[in-house]
Amino acid sequence: MLKKTKIFITLILLSLSLNAKEPLLGILTSVNSNEIQSFNISKCDLTCRPYGVLTLERLYEISEDNSVCREKIRSIYAKDPNLKHFAQRLLEVQQRYHIRPKEKGECVLYAKGQLTLSELLLAKGLALVKPLFDDKEFRDDFSVAERRARLDKRGLWMEEIFEICAAKLYE
């Protein structure tokens, strides 16, 4: 009887932690780009994209009919090749990270203490906050990071990529 009670209490605690949407601890298995990272959580593989943002890689993909946009993105990486590998330099494979899976394959990845990969990409000008993004938990932090990059003319803000590649998305 005592064993059944312990199992029942364990299940209740597990259920409470899942409902609280607490971050999971995952082992980073690969960093494909600033856009895609892979994790292993309890012998299950999970591929994540940064939550709530459009990375330059994603803008490049969706701008297949806009050669000017694609050229501007290539020019950013030509000026500073380290930007293309920002996530690879920031994150360490086989390191454990707190992640919180969200919708559509996106994850909140706590990459540097309480800072998320999304915030760090925004601050470097390597991403934009998605149109209609309205997650109250992250909205303000993301806006501050994006505004900092815009004021410092970092990444996509130094090449006017927003106007060329993304302005239509925000209309």
pTM of the model as a whole: 0.84
93 part of a folded domain: yes
pLDDT band at 22, cuts 50/70/90?
confident
What average pLDDT is seen over the chain? Answer: 87
> pLDDT tens digits, residue range 57-93?
999 999 888 899 999 999 999 999 999 999 999 999 9
Instruction: Report the domain count for the chain.
Output: 1
1 part of a folded domain: no
Q: Which helix (H) or strand (E) holds 17?
A: helix 2-19
18 part of a folded domain: no
Answer whether 39's CB lies under 8 Å from 49's CB.
Answer: no
CATH of the domain at 51: 2.40.50.90
What sign does the dihedral 158-161-164-167 (CA atoms) show? negative
What letter does residue 126 receive in the DSSP assignment?
S
pLDDT greater at residue 101 or residue 10: 101
pLDDT greater at residue 17 or residue 90: 90
13 part of a folded domain: no
pLDDT band at 18, cuts 50/70/90?
very low
106 part of a folded domain: yes
**Whole-Å CA distances, 40 to 20, 22, 30, 105:** 21, 17, 10, 14
Percent of the chain clearing pLDDT 90 (strictly above): 71
4 part of a folded domain: no
Can you give the pLDDT at residue 171? 66
2 part of a folded domain: no
Percent of the chain clearing pLDDT 70 (strictly above): 87
Distance CA 123, CA 40 (A): 27
Can you give the pLDDT at residue 167? 77
For the cut 70, the answer to whether the pLDDT of residue 17 exceeds it is: no
Name residues whose C-beta falls within 8 Å of residue 137's C-beta, 6 or more positions apart in sequence: none
pLDDT greater at residue 110 or residue 167: 110
Could you tell me the residue range of the domain that residue 61 belongs to? 23-170
Distance CA 99, CA 155 (A): 25
For the cut 80, the answer to whether the pLDDT of residue 150 exceeds it is: yes
75 part of a folded domain: yes
What average pLDDT score do residues 118-144 get? 95
Answer whether 135's CB lies under 8 Å from 100's CB.
Answer: no
